[in-house]
């Protein structure tokens, strides 16, 4: 009965453990409404000077759901009448990128990378320009929504992580 009992116990316990522990294997996911687009403001509040917006969404980690957690930031700017949204994370090593109004450039203070207003790489060790984020292009006065994503750092190609 020892081997048979252990086998029967395994048949009963294994599915229960799998059901109990599967959320831990799934990792952390970020969710928000509307196909993962997060509203960051009205179209007419953005102009030729970049504005940094914080992006909040619900975070699900194993069994826990935390509402309205800051998942990142983005820079929103209008260039030649068109809206652009860039990640505030430097593609070099993940430092926070700031806007320098005196030079009109985005700058990473950690390793002196600089980026043009259009996100293009201008100087420093960053392997690529700022990562452009997908957004919903609204008409004047409508809400702007950004899909926030993270990308691999230290590589030339923009690769989602």
- Parallel/antiparallel/unpaired status of strands 37-42 and 64-79: unpaired
Query: Which of 53-62, 106-115, 133-142 is predicted with the least confidence, judged by mean pLDDT?
Result: 133-142
**How far is residue 95's CA from residue 19's CA, in Å, rounded to a whole number?**
38
Contacts of 33 (CB under 8 A, 6+ apart): none
| Average pLDDT of the residues of the chain | 82
Q: Residue 7: what pLDDT?
A: 61
As a whole number of angstroms, the distance between CA 112 and CA 45 comes to 30
Structure tokens at 78: 């209008």
pTM exceeds cut of 0.85: no
pLDDT of the residue at 15: 56
Whole-angstrom distance, CA of residue 115 vs CA of residue 73: 17
End-to-end CA distance of the chain: 50
pLDDT tens readout for residues 25-64 = 443 334 443 458 888 888 888 999 999 999 998 888 778 8
27-147, which class in CATH?
mainly beta
| pLDDT band of 68, cuts 50, 70, 90 | confident
- What mean pLDDT comes out for the span 132-143? 80
């Amino acid at each position: 009965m020892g081997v048979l009992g252990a086998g029967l116990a395994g048949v009963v316990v294994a599915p229960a453990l799998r059901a109990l522990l599967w959320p831990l294997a799934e990792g952390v996911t970020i969710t928000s409404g509307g196909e993962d687009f997060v509203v960051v403001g009205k179209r007419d509040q953005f102009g030729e000077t970049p504005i940094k917006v914080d992006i909040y969404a619900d975070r699900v980690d194993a069994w826990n759901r935390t509402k309205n957690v800051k998942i990142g930031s983005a820079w929103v700017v209008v260039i030649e009448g068109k809206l652009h949204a860039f990640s505030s994370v430097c593609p070099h090593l993940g430092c926070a990128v700031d806007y320098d109004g005196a030079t009109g450039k985005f700058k990473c203070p950690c390793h002196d990378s600089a980026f043009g207003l259009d996100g293009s790489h201008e100087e420093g060790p960053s392997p690529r320009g700022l990562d452009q984020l997908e957004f919903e292009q609204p008409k004047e006065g409508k809400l702007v929504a950004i899909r926030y994503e993270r990308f691999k750092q230290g590589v030339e190609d923009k690769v989602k992580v």
